[in-house]
């Protein structure tokens, strides 16, 4: 194929950066031909080298920054952007929030949606927020080390300060690694598929400070597991749960099927919206506890509940939104496709003594159709789907069930815009969208949209 691009591979150019894509790449244009460049920001000038030329667009790499953006933050270490653990860390936080608002505005504009988009609700301290870590363990420079994968690669770059994780988790990982070295635990080798320990996972309750350590191993046996657990409990009094998960497969998937208790109990406790939650090894639990409360609060506000309503929480996970909404509604129906999450949700309802919620296992689009067939009267519908958004059959079911109000919690502006267009066709008018920054320093954009039926 002959490519008619105004640039050639390996060519060096001086360019002005005019935009930042949703993937965090700087954009320069040569005669309208876009070049995407990692690590540069709008309003910067850079010397670049073209590395790939496609028909419609190309890629280049930064050679030298000639003019810096006033929003550039000199990073502590570029290991964060090299690993993609914090791909926006070179952009000042207020500019990150503008960037995220613009992502939403742009997709709305393309879809001809005229919905007011509020300024993003950000964090006062946008680092150290993650309550969960999953770090690969490898043999690096002669010893067992943790780190993170280099972008587009399986190479683990050594790292002990993970920047966006709860510093207590980083600290615990260091202590645990020291103990593992003392017991000569063999780190996993991805090339030979040998060795024992693949990944360490840590969870820490934001309010409870309870900690869980999970060793994900290739081998069935973790040598000296009991002794290691005793040392960990001595060194880290917050640890209440030490678990092992076996994943013998050669795969990118972190967890295997078999999970065993090594010491303590098999869950940690935490709180969210004043409610108690028990979180086990593989439960889905929001990773930014402070911002989750901001997000849920917005969702509850948007639903304008008086206590008399019947509410559906679709894609309910372990029931966090359902349980937070329960005290503002007469009855809440949750629906979720993962069985263990539904069991967690029912359990969490019980420990909080909430009896006006009911969780159904199944696909939201199918259960919605069933509720409609059962002639369920629904006042408000809250949805929090995965990145791919709502199935069109789900949107059809909304049109049949006709809730007066709807709240759309989205983690992907592109599918949000698509779905809002389809919902408009069902008579739902979007009043506003409120982005909430759940993942500072990263490219993720989360938002709440309020809709009313006309
Ligand atoms: N509202 C929860 C979970 C949101 S994540 C919270 O805030 O914690 C999205 C959830 O949708 C996941 O739990 C996923 O298992 C579930 N899910 C994905 N596809 C689904 C489907 N077709 N029907 C029902 N649930 C689904």
> What CATH number does the domain containing 158 carry?
2.40.50.1070
170 with 307, same domain?
Answer: no
Instruction: Give CA–CA dist 95/106, Å, rounded.
Output: 16
In a domain, 98, yes or no: no
Is residue 137 classed exposed, middle or buried when 0-12, 13-18 and 19+ CB atoms within 10 A define those classes?
buried
Instruction: Give CA–CA dist 143/418, Å, rounded.
Output: 49
Q: What confidence category does residue 2 fall into, taking pLDDT thresholds of 50, 70 and 90?
A: low
Choice between 76 and 431, residue whose per-residue pLDDT is larger: 431
Instruction: Give CA–CA dist 140/152, Å, rounded.
Output: 19
Given a contact cutoff of 8 angstroms between Cβ atoms, the answer to whether 282 and 255 are in contact is yes
Predicted local confidence at residue 78, as pLDDT: 67
Centre of ligand 1 to C-alpha 318, Å, is 9
Q: Under DSSP, is residue 142 helix (H, G, I), strand (E, B) or coil? A: coil
Of all residues in the chain, the percent with pLDDT exceeding 90 is: 91
Predicted local confidence at residue 384, as pLDDT: 98
Ligand 1 atom, smallest distance to 285 CA: 8
| Per-residue DSSP letter, 155 | P
- The helix-helix angle for 364-373 and 392-401 (nearest 10°) equals 20
Q: Which residues are catalytic?
A: 411
In a domain, 279, yes or no: no
311 with 426, same domain?
Answer: yes
Predicted local confidence at residue 77, as pLDDT: 65
Domain boundary among 272, 298, 318: 272
Q: What confidence category does residue 357 fall into, taking pLDDT thresholds of 50, 70 and 90?
A: very high
261 with 304, same domain?
Answer: no
Centre of ligand 1 to C-alpha 362, Å, is 10
Q: For atom 22 of ligand 1, which residue has the closest CA?
A: 363
Q: For atom 13 of ligand 1, which residue has the closest CA?
A: 317
Predicted local confidence at residue 405, as pLDDT: 98
Q: Mean pLDDT over residues 234-261, rounded?
A: 96
Q: What confidence category does residue 4 fall into, taking pLDDT thresholds of 50, 70 and 90?
A: confident
Ligand 1 atom, smallest distance to 313 CA: 1
Given a contact cutoff of 8 angstroms between Cβ atoms, the answer to whether 323 and 348 are in contact is yes
Centre of ligand 1 to C-alpha 395, Å, is 16
What angle is formed at CA 384 by the lines to CA 381 and CA 389, rounded to 5 degrees?
A: 105
Testing ligand 1's pocket by substitution, the residue of 385, 411, 419 carrying the most ligand atoms inside 8 A of its CB is 385
Domains identified in the chain, total number? 3
Centre of ligand 1 to C-alpha 183, Å, is 40
In a domain, 6, yes or no: no
Is residue 70 classed exposed, middle or buried when 0-12, 13-18 and 19+ CB atoms within 10 A define those classes?
exposed
390 with 418, same domain?
Answer: yes
pTM of the model: 0.94
- Report the DSSP pairing between strands 267-272 and 331-336: unpaired
Given a contact cutoff of 8 angstroms between Cβ atoms, the answer to whether 422 and 447 are in contact is no
Predicted local confidence at residue 81, as pLDDT: 73
Q: For atom 11 of ligand 1, which residue has the closest CA?
A: 315
Given a contact cutoff of 8 angstroms between Cβ atoms, the answer to whether 50 and 35 are in contact is yes
114 with 142, same domain?
Answer: no
What is the CATH number for 445? Answer: 3.40.50.150
38 with 137, same domain?
Answer: no
H or E element, residue 59: strand 58-67
At a CB cut-off of 8 Å and minimum separation 6, what does 106 contact? 413
Ligand 1 atom, smallest distance to 363 CA: 23
Q: Which domain holds residue 338?
A: 109-123+288-453
Centre of ligand 1 to C-alpha 381, Å, is 14
Centre of ligand 1 to C-alpha 315, Å, is 4
Binding residues: 286, 315, 336, 384
Given a contact cutoff of 8 angstroms between Cβ atoms, the answer to whether 185 and 211 are in contact is no
264 with 293, same domain?
Answer: no
pLDDT tens digits along 286-344 = 999 999 999 999 999 999 999 999 999 999 999 999 999 999 999 999 999 999 999 99
What is the overall mean pLDDT for the chain? 95
What is the CATH number for 38? Answer: 2.40.50.140
User: Residue 380: pLDDT above 70?
Assistant: yes
Instruction: Give CA–CA dist 399/109, Å, rounded.
Output: 24
Centre of ligand 1 to C-alpha 338, Å, is 8
| Per-residue DSSP letter, 252 | S
Q: Under DSSP, is residue 451 helix (H, G, I), strand (E, B) or coil? A: strand
Predicted local confidence at residue 76, as pLDDT: 63
In a domain, 257, yes or no: yes
Q: For atom 6 of ligand 1, which residue has the closest CA?
A: 317
Testing ligand 1's pocket by substitution, the residue of 314, 336, 381 carrying the most ligand atoms inside 8 A of its CB is 336
Binding residues for S-adenosyl-L-methionine: 286, 315, 336, 384
Ligand 1 atom, smallest distance to 338 CA: 15
Centre of ligand 1 to C-alpha 44, Å, is 40
Testing ligand 1's pocket by substitution, the residue of 315, 325, 389, 390 carrying the most ligand atoms inside 8 A of its CB is 315
Instruction: Give CA–CA dist 385/315, Å, rounded.
Output: 6
226 with 244, same domain?
Answer: yes
In a domain, 316, yes or no: yes
Per the structure block, which two tokens stand in for 290? 């402070």
Q: What confidence category does residue 67 fall into, taking pLDDT thresholds of 50, 70 and 90?
A: very high
Testing ligand 1's pocket by substitution, the residue of 131, 317, 345 carrying the most ligand atoms inside 8 A of its CB is 317
Beta bridge partners of 165: 130
295 with 262, same domain?
Answer: no
Instruction: Give CA–CA dist 296/286, Å, rounded.
Output: 11
Ligand 1 atom, smallest distance to 385 CA: 9
Q: Mean pLDDT over residues 388-404, rounded?
A: 96
User: Residue 59: pLDDT above 70?
Assistant: yes
Q: Mean pLDDT over residues 240-261, rounded?
A: 96
- Report the DSSP pairing between strands 33-37 and 58-67: parallel
Instruction: Give CA–CA dist 363/214, Å, rounded.
Output: 30
31-to-4, 187, 334 alpha-carbon distances in Å: 12, 51, 52
306 with 234, same domain?
Answer: no
Choice between 21 and 80, residue whose per-residue pLDDT is larger: 21
Q: For atom 10 of ligand 1, which residue has the closest CA?
A: 315
Given a contact cutoff of 8 angstroms between Cβ atoms, the answer to whether 419 and 451 are in contact is no
Number of other residues whose CB lies within 10 A of the CB of residue 388:
10
User: Residue 74: pLDDT above 90?
Assistant: no
In a domain, 77, yes or no: no
Q: Mean pLDDT over residues 344-370, rounded?
A: 97
At a CB cut-off of 8 Å and minimum separation 6, what does 348 contact? 275, 276, 277, 278, 318, 319, 320, 323
In a domain, 188, yes or no: yes
What angle is formed at CA 247 by the lines to CA 154 and CA 264, rounded to 5 degrees?
A: 115
pLDDT tens digits along 164-199 = 999 999 999 999 999 999 999 999 999 999 999 999
140 with 258, same domain?
Answer: yes
Given a contact cutoff of 8 angstroms between Cβ atoms, the answer to whether 20 and 41 are in contact is yes
* Closest-CA residue to 334 (of 361, 355, 308): 361
308 with 440, same domain?
Answer: yes
Per the structure block, which two tokens stand in for 83? 């690993």
User: Residue 140: pLDDT above 90?
Assistant: yes
Instruction: Give CA–CA dist 30/8, Å, rounded.
Output: 11
Is residue 57 classed exposed, middle or buried when 0-12, 13-18 and 19+ CB atoms within 10 A define those classes?
middle
In a domain, 35, yes or no: yes
* Closest-CA residue to 171 (of 213, 143, 207, 224): 213
Instruction: Give CA–CA dist 305/41, Å, rounded.
Output: 43
Spell out which residues line ligand 1, taking CB within 6 angstroms: 284, 286, 315-317, 320-321, 335-338, 341, 363-364, 384, 386
Ligand 1 atom, smallest distance to 292 CA: 7
Predicted local confidence at residue 283, as pLDDT: 87
Q: What confidence category does residue 433 fall into, taking pLDDT thresholds of 50, 70 and 90?
A: very high
Question: Which residues in 92-210 belong to E strands, given as ranges?
Answer: 132-140, 143-149, 156-158, 197-204
């Amino acid at each position: 194929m002959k490519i008619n691009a105004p640039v050639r591979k390996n060519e060096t150019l001086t360019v002005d950066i005019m935009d930042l894509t949703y993937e965090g790449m700087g954009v320069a244009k040569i005669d309208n031909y876009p070049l995407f460049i990692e690590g540069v920001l709008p309003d910067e000038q850079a010397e670049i080298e073209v590395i790939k030329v496609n028909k419609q667009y190309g890629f280049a790499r930064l050679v030298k920054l000639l003019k810096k953006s006033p929003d550039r933050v000199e990073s502590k270490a570029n290991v964060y952007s090299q690993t993609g653990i914090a791909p926006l860390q070179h952009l000042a936080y207020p500019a990150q929030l503008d960037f995220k608002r613009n992502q939403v505005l742009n997709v709305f504009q393309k879809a001809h949606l005229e919905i007011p988009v509020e300024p993003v609700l950000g964090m006062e301290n946008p680092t150290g927020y993650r309550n969960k870590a999953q770090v690969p363990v490898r043999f690096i420079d002669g010893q067992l080390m943790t780190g993170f994968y280099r972008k587009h690669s399986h190479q683990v770059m050594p790292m002990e300060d993970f920047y966006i994780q709860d510093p207590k988790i980083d600290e615990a990982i260091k202590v645990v690694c020291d103990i593992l070295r003392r017991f000569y635990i063999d780190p996993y080798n991805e090339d030979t598929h040998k060795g024992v320990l693949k990944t360490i996972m840590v969870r820490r309750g934001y309010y409870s400070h309870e900690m869980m350590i999970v060793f994900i191993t290739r081998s069935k046996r973790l040598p000296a597991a009991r002794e290691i657990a005793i040392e960990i409990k001595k060194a880290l009094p917050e640890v209440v749960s030490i678990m092992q998960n076996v994943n013998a497969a050669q795969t990118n998937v972190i967890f295997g099927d078999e999970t065993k208790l090594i010491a303590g109990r098999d869950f940690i406790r935490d709180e969210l919206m004043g409610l108690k939650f028990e979180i086990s090894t593989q439960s889905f639990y929001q990773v930014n506890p402070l911002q989750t409360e901001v997000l849920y609060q917005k969702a509850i506000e948007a639903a304008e509940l008086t206590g008399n309503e019947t509410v559906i929480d679709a894609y309910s996970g372990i029931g966090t939104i359902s349980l937070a909404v329960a005290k503002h509604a007469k009855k809440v129906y949750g629906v979720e496709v993962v069985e263990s999450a539904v069991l967690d949700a029912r359990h969490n309802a019980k420990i909080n003594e909430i009896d006006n919620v009911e969780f159904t296992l199944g696909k939201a689009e199918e259960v919605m159709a069933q509720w409609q067939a059962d002639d369920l009267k629904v006042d408000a519908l809250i949805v929090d789907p995965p990145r791919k958004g709502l199935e069109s059959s789900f949107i059809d079911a909304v049109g049949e069930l006709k809730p007066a109000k709807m709240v759309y919690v989205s983690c992907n502006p592109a599918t949000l815009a698509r779905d809002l267009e389809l919902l408009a066709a069902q008579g739902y008018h979007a009043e506003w969208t409120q982005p909430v920054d759940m993942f500072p320093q990263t490219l993720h954009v989360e938002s709440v949209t309020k809709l009313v039926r006309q």
